[in-house]
């Protein structure tokens, strides 16, 4: 972000007060901040009390061995029981848990809490019959169909940690996650629907199984939901149809309580190195904070609200704010399989009107793309049911915020800009819809019970009007517990930047405005944010370098009006690839397709530039700042620390002729 846009943002002075009726009836009021500050552990204990525990904890927080936290020590509970059975026991079995909307226009399925209980129980029994025991790991690679949620909850019910891998990830990415997680079973489907066509998933699982197997890990069973009916390869010794084993299983299953620190799931996310990190979340603290923040930030009234979060279950947002938070709260929600604009550009708005959605949670990149299409499209639909709008994944620019509030929210709805991360497990910084006078573009302040600060290089809190590093200064219930199998990397990655102060460093830069409200500016490390998805520069560089024609690669995130940032790659080809007479036409596409197959379509570079050299310092570090200047078509900045200062001229010249 340039200084100029930043100062425009900081001079943003529109304020939106909460609607009076919403404020009066809000789940969480202003006094929560003080209450939490006076007794943070007591505050979280009260939040944990919203759940049903088989055994109460004897200690709220064990921080004796930082940064390894234990919350609700000695407590025992079952996550699936909390998300399903207890609502049925409370007489809410007929309440709709999921209004599932398929991509094919006629496809609908409502699942009540009673039905959810039967489906999850059947799936839990089936997993047990396939040999999955407490502590065994399961990978889930599925489209947005109800079975994906049944599968996650079934795993939670039997204490089998899951890792959900986004269906848009490649076989390679799936294989390395299966291998790292040592998944015993993979749950998938034959395919899913994407823009009107059946798109396969199972073949990627077959390939991933081979990849894992070559590095010494064998998957025992693959459980396959029939969704599209397309032809797929079948290995009798491994593959099992969901309808064969789940449909015939008993709908009765007694959930066993697990320790509050029992692993619930691992979510892989990109870091600054090539290898994705398995972020571990555990049982009691995670569910406490996912459920509490969902009720708090969206002011959920489970008896009357219809909630819809458009994320995919393959991301942390889908875990905390589709599956665990909302279901623990007994919410009624929309689950949608398709893309926003298929078969027509008003599809989302049509669904909001049809299901009378009251709370809607999506990402700025989607809002910006709708802004481009114009107001006429949403204006064709009656969205007067909406009362709260949420945003997540990247900074929301004030114009998009105002458009969202005005066009989608009819100027009635507070917009909550929620800052958090895979690692934090739950929303950390956000306005409260019944309390905060919202400021377009600002995530405002840390939620009650959360202590965030913006600090200088030396770890000292900056004054209002200044910028610095965003840190969390005390542990929170839904914090990651470690990186799966790598405690050392956990300590190094998150707790070493401000080791002495004992701060968790989030990797983001932020500013406090004159009122002390917080503006998240984006990553300060080698992590990009493309359409709200986190991508690692190093991971894409490794993918490029694994191509036989590539000698070296450097990747930067360039500012992009639609996706926030976009991937731009600078590539040096091997001499054999550039030898006289070798035809280089189509090389950019070849490399781009290679990245797609190694990681997935989301990592595909917007642009690939073939260059003769990369700008490096005398110690050999690539100066990405200069490459970003080229990618964003700016004049190249200070090159005095380059080992060879003529290189930028070569790169810029090549850039001028190649486009």
Residues in contact with ligand WT7 by CB under 6 A are 269, 316-317, 392-395, 417-422, 443, 506-508, 520, 522-523, 529, 532, 534
- Tell me whether residue 394 or residue 526 sits nearer to ligand WT7 (CB atom): 394
As measured in angstroms, the least distance from the Cβ of 324 to ligand WT7 is 14
Extract the tokens encoding 516: 């002390």
- Tell me whether residue 422 or residue 445 sits nearer to ligand WT7 (CB atom): 422
Instruction: List % helix, strand, coil for the chain (3-state, nearest 5).
Output: 35, 25, 40
Rounded CA separation 227/145 (Å): 9
As measured in angstroms, the least distance from the Cβ of 476 to ligand WT7 is 14
Residues 6 or more apart from 411 whose CB is under 8 A from it? 405
User: 176-204 as b/e, with b when 16 or more CB fall inside 10 Å?
Assistant: bbbbbbbbbbbbbbbbbbbeeeeeebbeb
- Tell me whether residue 152 or residue 322 sits nearer to ligand WT7 (CB atom): 322
- Tell me whether residue 87 or residue 533 sits nearer to ligand WT7 (CB atom): 533
Is residue 422 a known part of a binding site? yes
Taking each helix axis from N to C terminus, what angle separates 624-631 and 647-658, rounded to the nearest 10 degrees? 20
As measured in angstroms, the least distance from the Cβ of 278 to ligand WT7 is 13
Is residue 180 a known part of a binding site? no
Whether cis (ω within 30° of 0) applies to the bond prior to 343 is yes
As measured in angstroms, the least distance from the Cβ of 430 to ligand WT7 is 8
As measured in angstroms, the least distance from the Cβ of 493 to ligand WT7 is 12
SS3 529: strand
Extract the tokens encoding 538: 């190093």
Strand ranges across the sheet with 518-523: 452-455, 467-472, 504-512, 518-523
Rounded CA separation 557/565 (Å): 5
- Tell me whether residue 258 or residue 268 sits nearer to ligand WT7 (CB atom): 268
In the numeric block, the tokens 């055994």 are attached to: 55
As measured in angstroms, the least distance from the Cβ of 394 to ligand WT7 is 5
- Tell me whether residue 121 or residue 282 sits nearer to ligand WT7 (CB atom): 282
- Tell me whether residue 249 or residue 527 sits nearer to ligand WT7 (CB atom): 527
Of 497, 338, 367, 526, the residue nearest 441 (C-alpha): 367
- Tell me whether residue 409 or residue 441 sits nearer to ligand WT7 (CB atom): 441
As measured in angstroms, the least distance from the Cβ of 521 to ligand WT7 is 8
CA dihedral 571, 577, 582, 585 (to 10 degrees): -30
As measured in angstroms, the least distance from the Cβ of 271 to ligand WT7 is 10
As measured in angstroms, the least distance from the Cβ of 499 to ligand WT7 is 20
Is residue 195 a known part of a binding site? yes
As measured in angstroms, the least distance from the Cβ of 20 to ligand WT7 is 26
Is residue 196 a known part of a binding site? yes
Is residue 547 a known part of a binding site? yes
Is residue 363 a known part of a binding site? no
Q: Which helix (H) or strand (E) holds 564?
A: strand 564-573
- Distance of alpha carbon 346 from the chain centroid: 24
- Tell me whether residue 227 or residue 511 sits nearer to ligand WT7 (CB atom): 511
Is residue 394 a known part of a binding site? yes
Is residue 24 a known part of a binding site? no
Give DSSP secondary structure letters for 435-496. T--B-TT--BSBPTT--EEEE-TTSPBPPTT-EEEEEE-S--TT----BTT-HHHHHHHHHS
Is residue 314 a known part of a binding site? no
Rounded CA separation 319/425 (Å): 9
Is residue 508 a known part of a binding site? yes
Is residue 15 a known part of a binding site? no
Is residue 209 a known part of a binding site? no
- Tell me whether residue 179 or residue 312 sits nearer to ligand WT7 (CB atom): 312
Is residue 493 a known part of a binding site? no
As measured in angstroms, the least distance from the Cβ of 533 to ligand WT7 is 6
As measured in angstroms, the least distance from the Cβ of 506 to ligand WT7 is 6
Contacts 24+ apart (CB under 8 A), 595-598: 595/540, 595/543, 595/544, 595/569, 596/170, 597/170, 597/172, 598/170, 598/172, 598/173, 598/543, 598/546
SS3 516: coil
List strand residue ranges (DSSP E) for 320-427, in order: 332-336, 359-362, 388-392, 415-418
Is residue 227 a known part of a binding site? no
Rounded CA separation 38/15 (Å): 29
Rounded CA separation 401/440 (Å): 6
The per-type count for the chain, helices as H runs and strands as E runs, is: 24, 29
Three-state SS for 380-402 is CCCCCCCCEEEEECCCCCHHHHH
- Tell me whether residue 188 or residue 424 sits nearer to ligand WT7 (CB atom): 424
Is residue 305 a known part of a binding site? no
Residues 6 or more apart from 104 whose CB is under 8 A from it? 193, 196
- Tell me whether residue 435 or residue 506 sits nearer to ligand WT7 (CB atom): 506
Which residues are documented as binding site for ATP?
A: 393-395, 417-422, 508, 523, 534
Which residues are documented as binding site?
A: 194-197, 317, 393-395, 417-422, 508, 523, 531, 534, 545, 547, 550, 596
Which residues are documented as binding site for Mg(2+)?
A: 545, 547, 550
Which residues are documented as binding site for CoA?
A: 194-197, 317, 531, 596
């Amino acid at each position: 972000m340039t200084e100029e846009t930043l100062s425009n943002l900081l001079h943003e002075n529109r304020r939106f007060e909460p609607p009076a009726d919403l404020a009066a009836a809000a789940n969480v009021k202003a006094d929560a901040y003080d209450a939490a500050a006076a007794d943070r552990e007591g505050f979280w204990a009260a939040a944990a009390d919203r759940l049903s525990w088989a055994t109460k904890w004897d200690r709220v927080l064990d921080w004796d061995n930082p940064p390894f936290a234990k919350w609700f020590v000695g407590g025992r509970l079952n996550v699936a029981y909390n998300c399903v059975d207890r609502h049925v026991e409370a007489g809410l079995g007929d309440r709709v848990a999921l209004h599932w909307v398929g991509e094919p226009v006629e496809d609908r399925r409502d699942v009540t809490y009673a039905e959810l209980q039967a489906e999850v129980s059947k799936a839990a029994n089936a997993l047990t019959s396939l040999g999955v025991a407490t502590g065994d790991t399961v990978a889930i690679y599925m489209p947005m169909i109800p079975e994906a949620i049944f599968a996650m909850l079934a795993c939670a019910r039997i204490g089998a940690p899951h890792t959900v891998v986004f269906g848009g990830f490649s076989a390679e990415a799936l294989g390395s996650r299966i291998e790292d997680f040592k998944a015993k079973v993979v749950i998938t489907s034959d395919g899913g629907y994407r823009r009107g066509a059946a798109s396969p998933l199972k073949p990627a699982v077959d390939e991933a199984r081979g990849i894992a197997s070559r590095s010494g890990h064998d998957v025992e069973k693959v459980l396959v939901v029939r969704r599209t009916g397309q032809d797929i390869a079948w290995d009798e010794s491994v593959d099992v149809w969901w309808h064969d084993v789940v449909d015939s299983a008993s709908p009765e299953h007694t959930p066993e309580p697990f320790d509050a620190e029992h692993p619930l799931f691992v979510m892989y996310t990109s870091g600054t190195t090539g290898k994705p990190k398995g972020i571990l979340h555990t049982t009691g603290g995670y569910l406490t904070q996912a459920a509490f923040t969902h009720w708090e930030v969206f002011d959920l009234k489970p008896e009357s609200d219809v909630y819809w979060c458009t994320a995919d279950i393959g991301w942390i947002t889908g875990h905390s704010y589709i599956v665990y938070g909302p279901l623990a709260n007994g919410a009624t929600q929309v689950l949608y399989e398709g893309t926003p604009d298929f078969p027509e550009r008003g599809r989302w708005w049509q669904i909001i009107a049809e299901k009378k959605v009251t709370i809607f949670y999506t990402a700025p990149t989607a809002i910006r793309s709708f802004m481009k299409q114009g107001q006429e499209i949403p204006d064709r639909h009656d969205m007067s049911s909406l009362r709260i709008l949420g945003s997540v994944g990247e900074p929301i620019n004030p114009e998009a915020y105002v458009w969202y509030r005005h066009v989608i929210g009819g100027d009635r709805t507070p917009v909550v800009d929620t800052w958090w991360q895979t690692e934090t497990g739950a929303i950390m910084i956000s306005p409260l819809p019944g309390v905060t006078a919202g400021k377009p573009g600002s995530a405002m302040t840390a939620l009650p019970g959360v202590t965030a600060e913006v600090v200088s290089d030396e770890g000292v809190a900056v004054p209002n009007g200044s910028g610095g590093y965003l840190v969390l200064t005390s542990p929170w219930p839904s914090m990651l517990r470690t990186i799966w199998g790598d405690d050392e990397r956990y300590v190094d990655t998150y707790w070493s930047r401000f080791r002495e102060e004992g701060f968790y460093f989030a990797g983001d830069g932020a500013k406090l405005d004159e009122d002390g409200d917080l503006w998240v500016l984006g990553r300060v490390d080698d992590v990009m944010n493309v359409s709200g998805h986190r991508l690692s520069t190093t991971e894409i560089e490794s993918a490029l370098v694994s191509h036989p024609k590539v000698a070296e690669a450097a990747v930067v995130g360039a500012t992009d009006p639609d996706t926030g940032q976009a991937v731009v790659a600078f590539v040096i080809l091997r001499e054999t690839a550039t030898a006289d007479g070798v035809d280089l036409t189509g090389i950019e596409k070849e490399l781009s397709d290679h990245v797609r197959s190694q990681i997935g379509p989301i990592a595909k570079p917007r642009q690939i530039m073939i260059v003769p050299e990369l700008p490096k310092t005398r110690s050999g570090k690539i100066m990405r700042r200069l490459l970003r200047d080229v990618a964003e078509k700016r004049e190249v900045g200070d090159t005095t620390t380059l080992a060879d200062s003529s290189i930028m001229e070569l790169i810029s010249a090549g850039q001028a002729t190649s486009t």
